[in-house]
């Protein structure tokens, strides 16, 4: 896999702009724009606060019963048990993503937004940003290229991360729970942008326009990376490296010396 500098990425994207004006670039969040997983930041902070309300508790209990997991206990107990079952591969990863998205069911919208911003501060996301990748995102925005942030993490925390980056939340595609009036409900508003779902979300935005570049770090980004004219990884995970043959031309962005 070829290693490239930011300048080489800029040049490749500019070449694509000449060939196909009006395209877009897409960035994964967790592991790509920042270190770590903001869904887990949000979920484990909520566990510490132990504020799971009735709609979430009822839905978690139903999930536990469906997958043969002990369904007794309070909200924090059920949430922790479901996450542990996911790690043991007894609770599907996609369902766990959904549970972590609607785990604040029963909360008001403003409460969730305030809590997400608190999590971003307490988990010090600012210190975990991958500045080389963020710089490319900012360069693309300054060039007037449509930029999308596409993540399987909950929209509430991804929006808070986007605010930290001064990135428009309207250009975020993330796992989204439904709201009934102003209250979060314990079910999803559409699929999780996860694995092939990332490209579904991107295509819903850009239609038949060209995806100039895709930036990812894990196997869940494979579909996006394959669809992009320029596929870029940064600090790639081992599971992505095992599937390099599926992504011809994948390049790795090397950190700047600064």
Other beta carbons less than 10 A from residue 196's beta carbon: 13
Mean pLDDT confidence for 234-245: 94
Confidence of residue 174 (pLDDT cuts 50, 70, 90): very high
Separation between Cα atoms, residue 144 and residue 134, nearest integer Å:
16
Mean pLDDT confidence for 225-233: 97
Per-chain mean pLDDT for the chain = 96
pLDDT of residue 258: 54
Please state the length of the chain.
Answer: 258
Q: What is the CA radius of gyration of the chain?
A: 19
Separation between Cα atoms, residue 62 and residue 53, nearest integer Å:
15
pLDDT tens digits, 65-116: 999 999 999 999 999 999 999 999 999 999 999 999 999 999 999 999 999 9
pLDDT of residue 114: 98
pLDDT tens digits, 79-90: 999 999 999 999
pLDDT tens digits, 4-46: 999 999 999 999 999 999 999 999 999 999 999 999 999 999 9
Mean pLDDT confidence for 144-151: 97
Q: Hey, which bits of 176-256 come out as E strands?
A: 177-180, 183-188, 211-216, 230-233, 251-253
Query: Cβ neighbours of residue 148 under 8 Å, at least 6 residues apart?
Result: 24, 25, 26, 27, 171, 172, 173, 202, 205, 206
pLDDT tens digits, 118-133: 999 999 999 999 999 9
Mean pLDDT confidence for 155-175: 96
pLDDT tens digits, 185-196: 999 999 999 889
Phi, psi of 167 (to 5 degrees): -105, 135
Q: Does the pLDDT of residue 61 top 70, yes or no?
A: yes
pLDDT of residue 256: 82
Percent residues over pLDDT 90 in the chain: 97
Contact 28, 228 (CB under 8 A): no
Confidence of residue 207 (pLDDT cuts 50, 70, 90): very high
């Amino acid at each position: 896999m070829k290693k490239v500098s930011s300048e080489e990425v800029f040049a490749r994207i500019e070449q694509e702009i000449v060939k196909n004006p009006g395209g877009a670039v897409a960035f994964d969040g967790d592991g790509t724009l920042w270190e770590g997983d903001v869904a887990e930041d949000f979920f484990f902070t909520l566990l510490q606060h132990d504020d799971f309300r009735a709609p979430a508790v009822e839905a978690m209990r139903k999930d536990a019963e469906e997958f043969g997991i002990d369904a007794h206990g309070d909200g924090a107990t059920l949430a922790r048990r479901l996450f542990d079952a996911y790690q043991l591969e007894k609770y599907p990863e996609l369902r766990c993503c959904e549970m972590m998205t609607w785990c604040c069911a029963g909360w008001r919208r403003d409460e969730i937004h305030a809590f997400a911003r608190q999590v971003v501060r307490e988990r010090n996301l600012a210190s975990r940003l991958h500045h080389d990748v963020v710089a490319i995102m900012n360069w693309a925005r300054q060039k007037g290229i449509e930029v999308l942030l596409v993540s399987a993490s909950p929209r509430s925390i991804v929006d808070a991360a986007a605010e930290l980056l001064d990135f428009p939340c309207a250009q975020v595609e993330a796992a989204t729970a439904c709201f009934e009036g102003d209250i979060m409900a314990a079910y999803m508003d559409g699929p999780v942008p996860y694995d092939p779902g990332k490209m579904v979300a991107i295509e819903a935005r850009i239609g038949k326009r060209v995806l100039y570049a895709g930036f990812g770090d894990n196997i869940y980004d494979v579909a996006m990376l394959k669809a992009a004219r320029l596929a870029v990884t940064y600090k790639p995970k081992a599971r992505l490296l095992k599937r390099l043959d599926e992504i011809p031309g994948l390049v790795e962005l090397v950190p700047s010396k600064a």
